[in-house]
Amino acid sequence: MSDGQVDPLDQGVFGFPIARNPLIYWCPELPRSDEGAPQVLAPHIGNRRAYFLVRTIWTRETRAAGERIAKKFRALNERYPEHRHVVLCNTRGELGLLKMVNVPAILCSTLAFVDETQFDIVPDEPKQFDAVYNAALVPFKRHELCTRLQSLVLLYHQYHPEQMREEGYEERIRALLPQAVFANDLGGRYRLFEPPEVALWHNRARVGLCLSAAEGAMRAAVEYLLCGLPVVTTPSIGGRDRGLDPARSRIAAPTPESVAAAVAELIRRRVDPRIIRRGTFERLRPDRLRLLQLIEAIYREEGVPFPANAPWEQLFRRGTWPWQRARDALEGPAIADLPGPSG
């Protein structure tokens, strides 16, 4: 490459290869056309058969949202007619709407891709907080609903799109929640935690919070549950309710008083964390199975033997935002090529 130019193969892309023959990728849907895996990788793949299994990143429970996805995929198919796109839906509502606009889709929540080996119960970790809220400091997360909680820890990242932010929001929430510990603030410097550190902070709390009215599936909901925490949620759209067991969670009205009362109730119940974690696996299993069935069906469609002994659990060990260079996505090992448990 000449000076100042970036090799297109060094461009970053979110997603990973599932198989090379047939060619299958997993990736998140992204709003900008220059950063999604189907757009970034397509020129390098060319017009040969390729499948992109695309998870949604925000609720798509309106016909207009479904039509936008359909339009995006049609534009890609006009240039690369051999490419196939299948959306992994968070809710049955999304699934129905996408089928209405002729977008191939299955029910497979983002929550299914939270890695349970990274989020687990830490039995000896003392409980320091009544509640933990793992949520970016942006208005739609509604941190103001925490004002009646006396003991609270906040975990947060700083990578939401500009249009979702509000100038001064963090300062306003700090003033509104003087009792809260802002865990990522280390002496005035922000630090992003790795998943095991996040899990440790979850284990220091008694209840997990989910307080937005609308978003995607909210992976923190399942992170809490895998760490053995019951969850207080407000009514919402986006799909996080599919990960919650009604017996071990509470739906609170979107008021500080209702949220605080629900947290207090769950603390009093003292539910066994192992029961919460075990029940979470049961709720995730059908979605994971549907994805494996889809992949097997693609192999059948392409007339290629399905490698049943591949380590397919690796589909659920990459997290929800796996990033790599385009070169590695195109040339690196796919899950189907990795040795299985006995290999």
- How sure is the predictor about 322, in pLDDT bands with cuts at 50, 70 and 90? confident
User: What's at 214, amino acid-wise?
Assistant: A
- What's the confidence (pLDDT) of residue 247? 87
Residue 261 makes CB contacts below 8 A (sequence gap 6+) with 252
Element (H, E) at 28: strand 23-28
- pLDDT over 70 (residue 147): yes
- pLDDT over 60 (residue 37): yes
Contact between 249 and 221 under an 8 Å Cβ cutoff? The reply is: no
- What's the confidence (pLDDT) of residue 162? 66
- How sure is the predictor about 186, in pLDDT bands with cuts at 50, 70 and 90? confident
The whole-angstrom separation of Cα 127 and Cα 205 is 5
- pLDDT over 60 (residue 191): yes
- What's the confidence (pLDDT) of residue 161? 64
Greater confidence (163 vs 22) lies with: 22
- pLDDT over 70 (residue 187): yes
Name the H helices within 16-91: 37-45, 63-79
**Percent of the chain whose pLDDT exceeds 90:** 74
Q: What is the pLDDT of residues 285-303, one digit of tens each?
A: 999 999 999 999 999 999 9
- What's the confidence (pLDDT) of residue 32? 61
Exposure string of 155-191, with b = 16+ CB inside 10 Å and e = fewer, is: bbeeeeeeeeeeeeebeebeeebeebbbbbeeeeeee
- pLDDT over 60 (residue 33): no
- What's the confidence (pLDDT) of residue 340? 76
- pLDDT over 60 (residue 22): yes
Greater confidence (329 vs 132) lies with: 132
- pLDDT over 80 (residue 342): no
Mean pLDDT of 52-66: 90
Least confident of 83-92, 154-163, 191-200, 213-222: 154-163
The whole-angstrom separation of Cα 310 and Cα 20 is 13
- pLDDT over 80 (residue 150): yes
Residue 333 makes CB contacts below 8 A (sequence gap 6+) with 17
Alpha carbon 308 to its chain's center: 26
Mean pLDDT of 26-52: 84
- What's the confidence (pLDDT) of residue 31? 64
- What's the confidence (pLDDT) of residue 4? 60
- Domain ranges across the chain: 8-107+304-337, 129-281
Place of tokens 């440790």: 200
Mean pLDDT of 171-196: 93
Exposure string of 285-318, with b = 16+ CB inside 10 Å and e = fewer, is: eebbebbeebbeebbeeeeeeebeebebeebbeb
- What's the confidence (pLDDT) of residue 39? 86
Q: Which fold has domain 129-281?
A: Rossmann fold (3.40.50)
- What's the confidence (pLDDT) of residue 275? 96
**Percent of the chain whose pLDDT exceeds 70:** 94
Place of tokens 């700083």: 158
User: What's at 57, amino acid-wise?
Assistant: I
Entry field: residues in the chain = 343
- What's the confidence (pLDDT) of residue 53? 96
Mean pLDDT of 26-54: 85
- Strand 16-20 to 23-28 pairing: antiparallel
- pLDDT over 80 (residue 315): yes
- pLDDT over 90 (residue 62): no
Quote the radius of gyration of the chain (alpha carbons, Å).
21
Mean pLDDT of 150-172: 82
Q: What is the pLDDT of residues 235-273, one digit of tens each?
A: 999 999 998 988 889 999 999 999 999 999 999 999 999
DSSP state of 310: S
